[in-house]
Amino acid sequence: MTFEEIKEQNEQSIMHTYGRFPVALVSGHGVKAVDSEGKEYIDFTSGIGVNSLGYCDEKWVQAVAKQAAKLQHTSNLYYSPVQNELAQTLCGLMGFSRVFFGNSGAEANECAIKLARKYGTDTYGENHHHIVTLQNSFHGRTVTTLAATGQDGFHQYFTPFTPGFSYAKPEMGSIKESVNGNTCAVMIEMIQGEGGVVPLDPGFVKELGAFCKERDILLIVDEVQTGIGRTGKLFCFQNYGIQPDVVTSAKGLGGGLPIGACLCSERLKDVLGPGMHGSTFGGNPVVCAGALAVLDRVAKESFLEEVRQKGEYFKEKLSAMEGVESVRGMGLMLGAKLKNKTAKEAAQKCAENGLLVLTAKDLLRFLPPLVIDYPEIDAGLAILSKAIS
């Protein structure tokens, strides 16, 4: 099919919930994707942080295909060895006790919210369900995770939202004003991705961790976008020297297949019992096989060190580029504020010239596959330089 035929088919059949670029991707390998017209693109997006090993990584494909040929799905009414293996691997790597598997970051965050509220009401009474999140945060698109999201732009059309959330500035004075006698948790992102690639201040994070521990308020860290090696550590909170009570993950964990994970500490491992939460497709064996292939590669310290080094190289080159005002972020999660072009204009121009990039508010956002090499970084940045000059 031609691009125009694909576009027309989309217009006729799919809800118009996405503002798409005029590109129809049909294949890919490594860091490069190919569209319906045979044009090649360097991908600095990873499908919004999902394709952590790039397109069609050989070992990932083998793991997924092998499991699909053996058993493609079983309900969670039965035990699943591959699900068990992924759970033990994740918990073992990060020092957590239990995990719940869902299909997305929003599902993982829903589980974290339910877990915190159940802990709060079990421990302190039925009204102990208030959760503080941060202004400018993003936690998902379900009605409850939208309620948890601290951006007014997302709080339209879909009211009434789930009650019990308030939004603090990323500073301790505001946190203390927002916390009340019924607060069961504080939920944060280490780097606010959809909010414009905004890293939290390390001093604030450490003080918040101590504050929550002292008052038995659960600290939930949303690592849907920052997790699985994206910032040069397996999880971004490791860069900040804290140990949360609950961590959520998704995106890069599956390597391209839908997964969400909510990990909890030892004291929370039995808070949720049978029938209190569930997911038909959560922990699907094919997806778990793919996630194991991702962790087998990404969890190695040598790999993470390469991510850190490539991130510094990317950031240095980007910061020196004419037309770039400032750069922020960590590892291979970076945002660039431009001098003379809007992020949307620049992203459109990049796509026309064979580079896929993202936007986040008024910034260009970069989430390349973690396996990207230096020549590919240079080639992509050369296209970007022309697009913004």
**Token pair belonging to 145:** 């995770």
44 is in an annotated binding site: no
222 is in an annotated binding site: yes
149 is in an annotated binding site: no
297 is in an annotated binding site: no
225 is in an annotated binding site: yes
DSSP states of 73-137: ---TTS--HHHHHHHHHHHHHHT-SEEEEESSHHHHHHHHHHHHHHHHHHHH-TT--EEEEEBT-
CA-to-CA distance for 353 and 387, rounded, in angstroms? 8
Partners of residue 100 on adjacent β-strands? 262
Grouping H, G, I as helix, E, B as strand and the rest as coil, residue 273 is: coil
CA-to-CA distance for 369 and 55, rounded, in angstroms? 9
**Token pair belonging to 160:** 């009434």
105 is in an annotated binding site: yes
Q: What burial class does residue 247 get, using C-beta atoms within 10 Å of its C-beta: 0-12 exposed, 13-18 middle, 19+ buried?
A: buried
**Token pair belonging to 78:** 């039965």
* Omega cis (within 30) before 160: yes
CA-to-CA distance for 218 and 230, rounded, in angstroms? 24
45 is in an annotated binding site: no
Residue list, annotated binding site for pyridoxal 5'-phosphate? 105-106, 138, 222-225, 280
Binding residues: 105-106, 138, 141, 222-225, 279-280
Residue numbering of the annotated binding site for N(2)-acetyl-L-ornithine: 141, 279
